């Protein structure tokens, strides 16, 4: 998979791909991540990429021309399966969306800033708009990292067996059951004896019923 990310602050997104699992995924060649500084496509000498909104109002708008030029150039180099604008107005990111995106070849992520991007960029190029939740960030960069992380970890070969994505919360619409490691007792709190029993079918049964209990308690909407 290849992920291209357009932003005025690409440096904000470097470290997530330079540590741990994502770094290994990049090193193994399972994913390529390319950042593009939007100001490189600005026209004036001040490298301006934002301007005041027509009709007035607070905040600046990211201009159509630099974004259109940048996206058009990238599109001339390869076919993107999706061109995704990160925005609080988008559909909420879910495990299902991450699963769907993880089987694509080329993704282009567009990070907004200020009040957002000129509507004509959305009309011309954007195929999908994704929000990472009902709150507003200072820009789309952290959202792009969250989206990329959720997708990359699903690529074959990125996680090993123990980390397998198949047992994640949400893969079966259930939250995860409680988990423990050594010691057996800490500050009077004991590991449930079933987990020490060695009886795998009973352990699986317990895990499933705990997952159901926690899901009913916290996220009954997932069970509908």
For residues 71 and 126, is the Cβ–Cβ distance under 8 A? no
Binding interface with ligand ADE (CB under 6 A): 86-88, 112, 131-133, 135-137, 140, 143
Q: What is the smallest separation between the CB atom of 86 and ligand ADE, expressed in angstroms?
A: 4
Toward ligand ADE, which CB reaches closer, 50 or 210? 50
d(CA 126, CA 123): 7
Please give the distance of CA 207 from its chain centroid, rounded to a whole number. 28
The residue of the chain with the least Cβ separation from ligand ADE equals: 143
CB of 24 to ligand ADE, least distance (A): 26
Question: 54 or 135, CB closer to ligand ADE?
Answer: 135
**Which of 92/164 has CB closer to ligand ADE?**
92
59 vs 133 by CB, closer to ligand ADE: 133
Q: Which is nearer to ligand ADE, 30 or 142 (CB)?
A: 142
Binding residues for S-adenosyl-L-methionine: 112, 132-137
Residue 8 C-beta: closest distance to ligand ADE, Å:
13
The distance of closest approach from Cβ of residue 12 to ligand ADE in the complex, given in angstroms and rounded to an integer, is 12
Tell me the β-bridge partners of 83: 108
For residue 18, what are the β-bridge partners? Answer: none
Shortest Å distance, C-beta 78 to ligand ADE? 24
Instruction: Enumerate residues 6+ apart whose C-beta is below 8 A from 4.
Output: 34, 35, 36, 74, 80, 106, 107, 108, 109
How many CB atoms neighbour CB 28 within 10 A? 11
Tokens (6 digits) for 3: 């992920």
Which residue bears the tokens 């994505």? 165
């Amino acid at each position: 998979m290849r992920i291209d990310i357009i932003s005025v602050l690409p440096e904000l997104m470097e470290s997530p791909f330079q540590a741990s699992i994502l770094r290994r995924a990049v090193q193994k060649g399972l994913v390529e991540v390319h950042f593009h500084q939007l100001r490189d496509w600005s026209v004036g000498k001040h490298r301006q990429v934002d301007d005041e909104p027509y009709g007035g109002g607070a905040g600046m708008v990211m201009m159509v021309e630099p974004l259109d030029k940048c996206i058009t150039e990238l599109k001339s180099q390869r076919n993107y399966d999706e061109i995704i604008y990160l925005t609080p107005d988008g559909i909420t990111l879910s495990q299902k969306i991450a699963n769907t995106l993880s089987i694509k070849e080329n993704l282009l992520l567009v990070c907004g800033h200020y009040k957002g991007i000129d509507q004509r960029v959305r009309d011309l190029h954007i195929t999908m708009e994704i929000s990472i939740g009902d709150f507003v960030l200072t820009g789309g960069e952290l959202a792009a990292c969250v989206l990329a992380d959720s997708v990359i970890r699903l690529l074959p070969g990125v996680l090993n067996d123990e980390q397998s994505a198949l047992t994640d919360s949400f893969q079966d619409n259930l939250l995860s059951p409680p988990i423990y490691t050594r010691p057996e007792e800490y500050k009077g709190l004991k590991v449930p004896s079933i987990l020490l029993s060695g009886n795998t079918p009973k352990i699986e049964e317990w895990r499933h019923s705990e997952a159901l209990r926690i899901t009913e308690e916290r996220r009954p909407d997932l069970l509908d």
